[in-house]
Amino acid sequence: GEGCCGALVHHMGREGAALASARRNVDAWTRAIDQGGLDAIVITASGCGTTIKDYGFMLRLDPAYADKAARVSALAKDITEYLVGLDLPEPVRKPGTIVAYHSACSMQHGQKITRQPKELLAVL
């Protein structure tokens, strides 16, 4: 099955290990896609999401993986991207609830996700 996305080893300059992680995940998710049981790859860590969304680019020169990696990248969604697309029931509001929100750099700059987390928090 799938495992570490490869972001950490990529940041440490271990490109071969990062590509091996990407290939392992692409293989696992491609099997699920081909079996018809995968509509999205939902990711809760923004650094991992940025990396998985980049698999298509990372493996673009690998003829055995370029197309499969692009398919996987297209299915990758941050949890907030996925949730705002669902018709969820209105949450029970707790009066007086005040929250602060910090957007991870890899989310706002790497994935360009800025609106969805705020939309989800606005209904609380």
Q: How many domains does the chain have?
A: 1
Residue 11 lies in a domain: yes
pTM: 0.86
pLDDT band at residue 106 using 50, 70 and 90 as cut-offs: confident
**93 vs 39, more confident:** 39
pLDDT of residue 75: 97
Euclidean distance between CA atoms 23 and 58, whole angstroms = 10
pLDDT bin (cut points 50, 70, 90) of residue 45 is: very high
pLDDT tens figures, 60-104: 999 999 999 999 999 999 999 999 989 888 888 778 888 888 888
For residue 34, the enclosing domain spans 7-122
DSSP 8-state code for residue 4? -
Q: Is residue 2 part of a domain?
A: no
DSSP calls for 105-121: HIIIIIS---HHHHHHH
Q: What is the DSSP string of 34-96?
A: HTT--S-EEES-HHHHHHHHTHHHHTTT-TTTHHHHHHHHHHEEEHHHHHHTS-PPPPPP-TT
Instruction: Tell me whether residue 114 is in a domain.
Output: yes
How high is the pLDDT of residue 121? 85
